[in-house]
Structure 1
Amino acid sequence: MRTCVPPLVSSSPGTSARPPDAGHTVGATWTEAPCPVLVVDRHGGLVDVNGAARILLPGAVSGDWLHEHVPSWLCDAHRRITDGPRPADAAPLSGPIRERHFEAHPTAAGDGGVVWWLVDDTDRRLAEAALTDAQTRTEILSHVSSTLLSTLNVPRCMEVTASMAAEHLADAAVLVGPAKGWRQSLTYAVRGGPVSQVVQMVDVSGVPGLTEALQGFPPVPARWINPDDIPDWVTPDGFAGPVGSVIVAPLPGHGVPAGALILLRSSTEQSFSEGEEVFARLFAARAGAALSAARLYSEQATVTATLMRELLPPALTSVHGVEYAGGYRAAKDHERVGGDFYDVHPGSDPSQDTLVVLGDVAGKGLDAAVLTGKIRNTLHALLPLTDDHQRVLDLLNGALLSSRHARFVTLVLASVRRRGSRAQLRLTSAGHLPPLIVRADGTVEDVPSHGTLVGALPAVTAHTVRTVLGPGETCLLYTDGITEARGGPLGDEFFGEQRLRRALAECAGLPAEAVVERVQMLAAQWLGAGRHDDMAAVAISVPRSGPLTVLNGRAGVSNRRST
């Protein structure tokens, strides 16, 4: 096998041996080619070179050996071709020559020689590398955005930001969140290592440009930051220091800065380039938007939860020897509030009435829930007047008519007072369904109370009914969402009052909570997956126990129940 080395040909001292085929020539077309062309004989000797080749390879002349002027990759390629035909599917021949990159295209010449056409593809390769780099960075930014925006949890978003920054941008990253009083929220990440979060007091002014970044000002160029000035608190555990290069980038938010990102590279790694610094700012902009969205959601969720606590129905329990239980289901399962509501306002002592209110505002959803909150607050302010249900309804009616809401409400009021083993009730309905009473023997009775809507007419007419509950008896207040629940075998039939009555007849003697649960369960089974209105129910029950007693100045009843 031939190699690109001179054959053993004698020569005079101080002169180079000339290849035996050095005088061979080929057609003149190649001499004017714009790219470098080398004519090489089968022994590896240069037969001729064109003008472009002489510029690329100064000193290369006919009679020299190929290996004296070109890198080994081209010399080896020439040897393989002269040893045998080149496969048709062989990869293009290419490699560096004098800090440029060339593709070498062979053409057969006479007597087994080869004409090498050297095409400079350095610029193409640089363009391809730049395009690949841009595509990679675009993919990273897209991945960053989708990953960060998939979580609205602020601590989790900070962890992901620091981790991805350390993975794609630097050896380590520190996310500095907005100050919490005198302390700073810090999230540390090292490439390939765990992420840690702490809240501690640090001097942010010790990091050049960090104070400005936390205030949302443009970043300080990385070349202005001396790594030796970086304080110890910036360097995370596990970082293979010392610090060699630093970037401080602000995290812009929606009107308020979301923090700042510090990127670190060790002294053994290449310093951040200008392009990497620009990319870091783009990354920080995406991260800042995601963090700002997460913080905004967190703040809104906190406000919503605070307001929701005032709109949600209260938890009910036993008051002055009478059991109270309530149940509520919004029209849409993903909502927690709506137009139905109830409240229980205990008297200050057993000698005073406990006021029970159940209502249904026209409409559903958040708009209706806002009005229920106002009605509940108004009724709470009218508690001193609850001895007269009619007066309470008149005042509430006037308040609704004078408000900007164009909605009305149906109400049922119940004043409850325990007397010995029984409870006395005053029931007033204002456009609402009449309450139902379940006697101890399973009989279900209507309370003949009736009246007009509240908030629709200049005056409210209502009729108050007095009744008594004995041990084991229950009065149920409910909204039409229960009786008008559509479902059943055909999916379009009302649950209806008769089914409700039959269900209540089976609940004779049960505690108030069991009665409400039974009604809710049957209504839900009847509905299936069908649509429904808001549903609410309140049960008022006298336990099957002895008479009311007073213990230590507080009212109570025996916990024993008959079976």
Structure 2
Amino acid sequence: MSGQSPTLTGDVRVDGPAPALLRAALDAADEAVLLCAAADDTILLVNKAAARLVPGLTPGAPCPLPGLNDATAAGTDTFTDDYAGRRLAGRRRALDAGHYAWYLRDRTEEVNRAAALAAERARASFLAEAGRRLSASLHLGRCLRTTVELAVAHLADAAVVVLPPENRRSSWIRLSGGSPAAEGSLPQSRLAEVPGLVEVLSGFPPIPSRWLDAAQAPAWLGLDRIGGLLVTPLPGNAAPAGALILARRDGGFRPDDEMLARIFAARAGAAIAAAALYREQVDTTAILQADLLPPELVQPDGVELVGSYQAAHDALRIGGDFYDVFAPSHPGGDTVLALGDVCGTGPEAAVLTGKVRQTLRALHLVDARPTEMLQVLNQALLDSGGRRRFVTLVVGALRRAEHGRVHLTLATGGHPPPLILRGDGTVEEVPVSGTLIGAVPDTVVRPAEVELAPGELCLLFSDGLTEARGGPTGTEQYGEERLRSALATCRGLPTTATVERIRQLVSDWVHGGVRDDIAMLAVRSPVRTALSLRDGGQSSFALNSRRVRQRS
């Protein structure tokens, strides 16, 4: 008030209102305030908010806040300190030449919220990384390794994935900090060594970590000591894809840790289940493909047989074109050749290809002739029901003839006629014809008989070879004339080299463009040596004579 003389309270000089009024004003403030003497940093006054925040603060007594003491000694104007489980922050303000005040704030909730936000961001980042890495591959081994790598990086000191038992054994993969990943398997009976593992693999809900005795964990988990153990299911398709075992050397798992582990396990389980399903499908496909792939060709009585198959798509090993060779079903019987083209490409055509090959094999066992094979196959396809698909096919019966010759009986159903490379380099077309197999009830087949002199070659091929588009314009068909010319240049070449040369010429023609399935099957009569010409006066000219006759 005006005209009132100064009043002293200890070392505090108050001009104006009485000291009681000053204390009342500070006690009414929500912010904690410490009034200090600048001369010796003695605390002169502690308001009620400061007393509640730091119960040990007393005027004239040592301050219990190390952070405040350090800031006072260093002359800094701010400090942070932990006191009784609270995070405190202080700011110094000068009042006059002899006094200053510390203003204290409780920042515990603010710090906790920031920590919770940071932890949530870390969890979100971890789960995003897990989703990205786990979905990057359908390889089961990579999914398992990624699972334990992510778990050790973010959740535990060691992680083990145990797969459900197969044939009374369970496969596992383990990773612990500082050690390379290890894999193995163990008998189903040993799963009970890990508390809760049998239950999780059986589909029961996870057991909270506080109910598991970490001391019972076996040594194969890979830690010298275990302070906390968590066993979490890896959910799959209607059944667990496995179990995730997490171990920590020191301390246990908090509820938040267990929740994060379960969310991660759900994503890992989905990835592992998808990879396992993909592997099962790949294995099944491989088994089915094995019977549809081109066979190893028999070499009957010295006759050379060489086949070549190239699917329309590089990713597929099978398709609509095929060739097969059936060894004689009894002594003195014929070797049967077949090369065909099922309408379409890909797996659906490959399935029909398998049916056609098995039908031909069965007909060969009952000594059916090529014409009969085509007629029976035509009726079988017409009677099969469902979507009707036709086949073009050439079937031949092969047997050795006199003087080293090879005799072929050929019949076709809608298929390009085979070509013959004679000893003098000329190329002939076998005069056969026939209607598509599986298209009309009454198929017409006009077979032909061919003899190959020693060294001569007969080439069976699918229309994917002659209809391959490429060349300068990229759309021109390779055509039969180019095929004839290419085959003529193969005179004197081994059979394998002949087939490979034709395949390479067509591939160069297509030059990476779109192509159909291509199948070839070459039959070459064995070349006769000078010693084998001692056959009663037969000359090499007589051996090179050739005969093709049409048979109705």
* Structure-2-length-normalised TM-score: 0.87
Deviation at 1:118, TM superposition (A): 1.9
Q: Which moved more, 1:44-53 or 1:482-491?
A: 44-53
Within 5 Å, give how 1:10-409 maps onto structure 2. 20-21=11-12, 32-43=28-39, 44-58=41-55, 60=57, 64=60, 68-81=62-75, 93-111=79-97, 113-201=99-187, 202-230=189-217, 232-236=218-222, 239-241=223-225, 243-266=226-249, 269-348=250-329, 351-384=332-365, 387-403=368-384, 404-409=386-391
- Give the aligned partner of residue 410 of structure 1: 392
Within 5 Å, give how 1:516-535 maps onto structure 2. 516-535=499-518
Look up the SS of the partner of 2:515 in the other structure.
coil
Q: Tell me: CA distance 1:19–1:363, structure 2 relative to 1, closer, same or farther (3 Å).
A: farther
Distance 2:237 2:531 in 1: 61
Within 5 Å, give how 1:446-457 maps onto structure 2. 446-457=429-440
Look up the SS of the partner of 1:320 in the other structure.
helix
Look up the SS of the partner of 1:335 in the other structure.
coil
Look up the SS of the partner of 2:444 in the other structure.
coil
* Amino acid across the alignment from 1:379: L
Q: Percent identity?
A: 42
* Amino acid across the alignment from 2:264: F
Deviation at 1:270, TM superposition (A): 1.6
Q: Which runs of 5+ in 2 are unaligned?
A: 1-8, 533-552
Q: Which runs of 5+ in 1 are unaligned?
A: 1-17, 87-91, 550-563
Contact 2:160/2:174 (CA < 8 Å) preserved in 1? yes
* Amino acid across the alignment from 1:343: D
Deviation at 1:498, TM superposition (A): 1.2
* Amino acid across the alignment from 2:394: V
Q: Tell me: CA distance 1:414–1:100, structure 2 relative to 1, closer, same or farther (3 Å).
A: same
Look up the SS of the partner of 1:282 in the other structure.
helix
Contact 1:442/1:505 (CA < 8 Å) preserved in 2? yes
CA deviations on 1:505-542 (whole Å, 9 max, x unpaired) are 01113232222111110010111121111111111111
CA RMSD of superposed structures (Å): 2.6
Distance 2:303 2:492 in 1: 14
The count of residues paired between Structure 1 and Structure 2 equals 515
Contact 2:56/2:64 (CA < 8 Å) preserved in 1? no
1:439 aligns with 2:422: yes
Distance 1:284 1:513 in 2: 55
Contact 1:40/1:47 (CA < 8 Å) preserved in 2? yes
Distance 2:98 2:498 in 1: 105
Distance 1:342 1:21 in 2: 111
Q: Tell me: CA distance 1:282–1:234, structure 2 relative to 1, closer, same or farther (3 Å).
A: farther
Deviation at 1:293, TM superposition (A): 1.5
Q: Tell me: CA distance 1:220–1:535, structure 2 relative to 1, closer, same or farther (3 Å).
A: same
Distance 2:138 2:481 in 1: 48
Distance 2:372 2:519 in 1: 25
Distance 2:457 2:428 in 1: 10
Look up the SS of the partner of 1:545 in the other structure.
coil
Contact 1:511/1:543 (CA < 8 Å) preserved in 2? no
Deviation at 1:234, TM superposition (A): 4.3
Look up the SS of the partner of 2:389 in the other structure.
coil
* Amino acid across the alignment from 1:428: A
Q: Which moved more, 1:300-309 or 1:540-549?
A: 540-549
* Structure-1-length-normalised TM-score: 0.85
